[in-house]
């Protein structure tokens, strides 16, 4: 416990020395338990070990539902500890605090997030995986930043999203399928960017879109059928752009369309059939070339609207001859271009024919070489078959050898068992020989004793023989003397 306290104090001092502050002032209002966040993180570090502040009585991190930044806060990133600590938060409102990047860890653990406001910052980059875990979001606001584009899959998990605001950035283009997952989207704001060309694939999957705001861009043309898939669209704001003509197909199929805001464009002409292809009730044509007023007409005949737009309709009709003349001129230019291109094509064909001839000759050589290669390949194939046969033979010999080795192993095993028996017998015989050796040693000792006795007996016999000879000699002498008894 003491060690943890020491580590906490060290980190607190370290963060303080780096100019880092992250703390909450907690309160309860109609929107629930709220953290009023004070953050000072000018270096955009993500090393916070804790969030300062004391909870209200009986409240914990899990009770926090909203995070709002306090005025004067500053950070270039969003520390991941916010969502690590407050995992039950449903609303995050971080405005005007200098955020520049949104990385993939920023909201990873805010899986209950419904409302995310990051407007009035300096965001230039949003990681493709930044919102992967936030599948419940219904309101997402990135307006008033410095975005120039977004990754194609950045919104792939937001299938419940209702409102998306990307206005007042520097977006000039977006990937074609960036909105393809937003089937529940009702409000899309792309106003005041730098968009020049609209892409039909942006809108193909937005079947529930009610309001589209793309004013304040640099759009020069409304392509035919561009909004055709937006069956539920009621309000479209295309003010302050640069297109000059509205064709009948520009809003075709929008039977629910009620309001078209077109003020401050450069509109000179409108195809009258455009009115018949929509259910429009109000058109704001203020500050345009052919009309400078807002028109409201909910009648079935649309006569007031038709009368107000007569100048625009006439201009469209007047454009037809000039457009035909322009088309004829364009066709003549196309014919000249075609003639020039035909001459160039003829020259190119001649060069290609020469190349083909050279390639044909080269092809003949290649075919000859291919025949040789085929022969070599056949020889290799034959050698390979022989090799396979040899391998099969070796495999069979190896099998026989294995059987022979198995038999020899059995014989050796039997011999080893016999050897063990012989060793046992020899060991027993060794013990017998050892006993016999002891007996021989005893017999040798007895033999030596007998030899000593024999020697003594022999010496005694020799002594007795000597005495016997002396006795015999004495007897002889006595027998040689004359008898004294006569």
Which of these ranges, 9-18, 92-101, 182-191, has the smallest mean pLDDT? Answer: 9-18
Which of these ranges, 69-83, 301-315, 373-387, has the smallest mean pLDDT? Answer: 373-387
pLDDT (tens digit per residue) in 426-449: 677 767 767 777 777 777 777 788
pLDDT of residue 332: 61
Q: CA-to-CA distance for 68 and 31, rounded, in angstroms?
A: 12
- Over residues 383-395, mean pLDDT: 76
Q: CA-to-CA distance for 324 and 59, rounded, in angstroms?
A: 75
pLDDT of residue 324: 62
Name the range with the highest mean pLDDT among 209-218, 275-284, 315-324, 388-397: 209-218
Which of these ranges, 119-123, 253-257, 303-307, 408-412, has the smallest mean pLDDT? Answer: 408-412
Q: CA-to-CA distance for 332 and 302, rounded, in angstroms?
A: 41
Whether the predicted pLDDT of 156 surpasses 70: yes
pLDDT (tens digit per residue) in 221-260: 998 899 999 999 999 999 999 999 998 888 888 889 999 9
Question: Is residue 408 very low, low, confident or very high in pLDDT (cuts 50, 70, 90)?
Answer: confident
Name the range with the highest mean pLDDT among 100-114, 336-350, 382-396: 100-114
Whether the predicted pLDDT of 215 surpasses 90: yes
The size of the chain, in residues, is 486
Same CATH fold, 229-334 and 20-194? yes
pLDDT of residue 6: 37
Q: CA-to-CA distance for 239 and 55, rounded, in angstroms?
A: 49
Question: Is residue 482 very low, low, confident or very high in pLDDT (cuts 50, 70, 90)?
Answer: low
Pick the CATH number of 20-194 from 3.90.230.10, 3.40.50.720, 3.80.10.10, 3.40.640.10: 3.80.10.10
- Over residues 392-407, mean pLDDT: 73
Backbone angles phi, psi at 271, to 5 degrees: -75, 125
pLDDT of residue 214: 98
CA angle 239, 244, 250 (to 5 degrees): 75
Question: Is residue 127 very low, low, confident or very high in pLDDT (cuts 50, 70, 90)?
Answer: very high
Whether the predicted pLDDT of 481 surpasses 70: no
Whether the predicted pLDDT of 10 surpasses 50: no
Whether the predicted pLDDT of 18 surpasses 70: no
Backbone angles phi, psi at 284, to 5 degrees: -95, 105
Instruction: Report which of residues 390 and 82 the model is more confident about.
Output: 82
Whether the predicted pLDDT of 329 surpasses 70: no
Q: Among all chains, which residue has been given the structure tokens 């400078």?
A: 292
Backbone angles phi, psi at 61, to 5 degrees: -55, -35
Q: CA-to-CA distance for 251 and 236, rounded, in angstroms?
A: 10
Question: Is residue 3 very low, low, confident or very high in pLDDT (cuts 50, 70, 90)?
Answer: very low
Structure tokens at 312: 């625009």
pLDDT of residue 8: 41
CA angle 455, 457, 460 (to 5 degrees): 110
Q: CA-to-CA distance for 153 and 194, rounded, in angstroms?
A: 21
pLDDT (tens digit per residue) in 339-379: 667 766 777 777 777 777 777 777 787 878 777 887 877 78
Q: CA-to-CA distance for 374 and 358, rounded, in angstroms?
A: 24
- Over residues 458-483, mean pLDDT: 72
Question: Is residue 321 very low, low, confident or very high in pLDDT (cuts 50, 70, 90)?
Answer: low
pLDDT of residue 473: 75
Instruction: Report which of residues 405 and 451 the model is more confident about.
Output: 451
Helix (H), strand (E), coil (C) string for the chain: CHHHHHHHHHHHHHHHHCCCEEEEEEEEECCEEEEEEEEEECCCCCCCCCCECCCCCCCCHHHCCEEEECCCCEECCCCCHHHHHCCCCCEEECCCCCCCEECCCCCCCCCCCCEEECCCCCCCEECCCCCCCCCCCCEEECCCCCCCCCCCCCCCCCCCCCEEECCCCCCCCCCCCCCCCCCCCCEEECCCCCCCCCCHHHCCCCCCCCEEECCCCCCCCCCCCCCCCCCCCCEEECCCCCCCEECHHHHCCECCCCEEECCCCCCCEECCHHHHCECCCEEECCCCCCCCCEEECCCCCCHHHHHHCHHHHHHHHHHHHHHHHHHHHHHHHHHHHHHHHHHHHHHHHHHHHHHHHHHHHHHHHHHHHHHHHHHHHHHHHHHHHHHHHHHHHHHHHHHHHHHHHHHHHHHHHHHHHHHHHHHHHHHHHHHHHHHHHHHHHHHHHHHHHHHHHHHHHHHHHHHHHHHHHHHHHHHHHHHHCCCCCC
Percent of the chain with pLDDT over 90: 54
| 153 burial via Cβ count (<10 Å: 0-12, 13-18, 19+) | middle
pLDDT of residue 390: 75
Structure tokens at 50: 């804790």
Q: Could you tell me which of 126, 125, 117 has the C-alpha nearest to residue 96?
A: 117
pLDDT of residue 5: 38
Reported pTM: 0.65
| 39 burial via Cβ count (<10 Å: 0-12, 13-18, 19+) | buried
Percent of the chain with pLDDT over 70: 87
Q: Could you tell me which of 321, 246, 249, 316 has the C-alpha nearest to residue 285?
A: 246
Domain ranges for the chain, please list them: 20-194, 229-334
Q: CA-to-CA distance for 398 and 382, rounded, in angstroms?
A: 24
Q: Are 312 and 262 in contact (CB under 8 A)?
A: no
Question: Which class does domain 229-334 fall in?
Answer: alpha beta
Q: CA-to-CA distance for 74 and 219, rounded, in angstroms?
A: 36
The mean predicted confidence, pLDDT, of the chain is 85
Instruction: Report which of residues 292 and 366 the model is more confident about.
Output: 292
Q: CA-to-CA distance for 126 and 149, rounded, in angstroms?
A: 9
Q: CA-to-CA distance for 274 and 252, rounded, in angstroms?
A: 7
């Amino acid at each position: 416990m003491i060690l943890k306290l020491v580590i906490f104090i060290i980190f607190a001092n370290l963060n303080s020395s780096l100019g880092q502050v992250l703390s909450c002032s907690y309160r309860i209002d109609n929107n629930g338990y709220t953290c009023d966040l004070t953050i000072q993180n000018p270096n955009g570090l993500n090393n916070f070990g804790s969030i300062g502040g004391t909870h209200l009585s009986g409240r914990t991190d899990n009770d926090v539902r909203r995070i709002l930044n306090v005025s004067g806060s500053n950070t270039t990133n969003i520390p991941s500890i916010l969502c690590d600590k407050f995992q039950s938060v449903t609303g995050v409102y971080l405005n005007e605090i200098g955020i520049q990047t949104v990385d993939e860890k920023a909201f990873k653990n805010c899986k209950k997030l419904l409302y995310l406001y990051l407007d009035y910052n300096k965001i230039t980059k949003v990681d493709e995986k930044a919102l992967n875990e936030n599948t419940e979001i219904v309101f997402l606001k990135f307006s008033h930043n410095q975005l120039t584009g977004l990754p194609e899959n950045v919104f792939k998990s937001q299938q419940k999203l209702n409102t998306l605001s990307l206005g007042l950035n520097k977006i000039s283009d977006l990937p074609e399928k960036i909105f393809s997952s937003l089937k529940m989207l009702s409000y899309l704001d792309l106003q005041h960017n730098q968009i020049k060309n609209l892409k039909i694939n942006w809108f193909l999957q937005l079947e529930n879109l009610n309001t589209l705001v793309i004013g304040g861009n640099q759009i020069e043309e409304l392509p035919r059928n561009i909004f055709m898939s937006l069956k539920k669209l009621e309000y479209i704001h295309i003010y302050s752009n640069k297109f000059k003509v509205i064709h009948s197909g520009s809003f075709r199929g929008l039977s629910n369309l009620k309001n078209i805001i077109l003020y401050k464009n450069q509109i000179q002409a409108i195809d009258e059939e455009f009115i018949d292809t929509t259910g429009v009730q109000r058109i704001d044509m203020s500050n345009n070339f052919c009309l400078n007023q807002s028109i409201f007409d909910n009648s079935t005949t649309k006569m007031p609207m038709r009368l107000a737009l007569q100048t625009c309709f006439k201009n469209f009709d007047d454009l037809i001859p000039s457009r035909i003349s322009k088309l004829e001129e364009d066709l003549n230019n196309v014919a000249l271009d075609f003639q020039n291109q035909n001459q160039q094509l003829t020259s190119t064909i001649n060069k290609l024919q020469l190349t083909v001839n050279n390639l044909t000759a080269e092809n003949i050589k290649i075919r000859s070489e291919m025949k040789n290669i085929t022969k070599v390949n056949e020889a290799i194939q034959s050698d390979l078959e022989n090799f396979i046969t040899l391998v099969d033979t070796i495999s069979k010999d190896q099998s026989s050898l294995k059987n022979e080795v198995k038999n020899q192993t059995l014989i050796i095993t039997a011999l080893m068992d016999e050897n063990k028996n012989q060793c046992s017998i020899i060991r027993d015989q060794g013990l017998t020989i050892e006993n016999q050796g002891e007996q021989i040693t005893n017999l040798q000792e007895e033999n030596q004793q007998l030899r000593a006795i024999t020697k003594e007996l022999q010496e005694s016999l020799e002594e007795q023989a000597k005495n016997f000879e002396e006795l015999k000699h004495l007897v002889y002498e006595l027998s040689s003397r004359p008898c004294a008894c006569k």
